[in-house]
Amino acid sequence: MAPQTENHHTVIPKKSETRSMRAQFALAILPTLTVLVVFALVEAWSRQRLLFASLASSSFLIYLDPEHKTNSTRTLMLAQGLAGIVGFGTHMIFGPSYWAAGGAMVIVIFGMIIMQAMHPPAVSTVLSFAFSAGKGGGLALFGLCIGLIIMLVALQRASVWLFRRTLAWEER
Domain ranges of the chain: 14-171
Cα–Cα distance for residue pair 165/172, rounded to 1 Å: 11
Average pLDDT, the chain: 77
For the segment 43-83, what is each residue's pLDDT rounded down to a tens digit?
A: 776 666 666 677 778 877 877 777 789 988 899 889 988 99
- Dihedral sign for Cα 140, 141, 146, 148, please: positive
What would you report as the CA-atom Rg of the chain, rounded to the nearest whole angstrom? 18
Q: Could you tell me the pTM of the whole model?
A: 0.69
For the segment 126-167, what is each residue's pLDDT rounded down to a tens digit?
A: 998 888 765 555 667 677 767 777 777 777 777 777 777 776
pLDDT of 135: 59
Cα–Cα distance for residue pair 31/50, rounded to 1 Å: 18
Give me the residues paired with residue 10 across strands: 5
Alpha helix (H) ranges present in 10-137? 17-45, 53-64, 73-94, 98-115, 121-132
pLDDT of 98: 94
pLDDT of 1: 46
- Provide CB contacts within 8 A for 149, sequence distance 6+: 34, 38, 55, 58, 59, 62, 76, 80
Give the CA distances from residue 108 to residues 10, 67, 84, 103, 104, in Å, rounded to whole numbers and listed in that order: 28, 23, 9, 9, 6
CB 11 within 8 A of CB 3: yes
pLDDT of 100: 92
**pLDDT surpasses 50 at 14:** no
Query: How much of the chain, in percent, has pLDDT values that exceed 70?
Result: 72
pLDDT of 15: 45
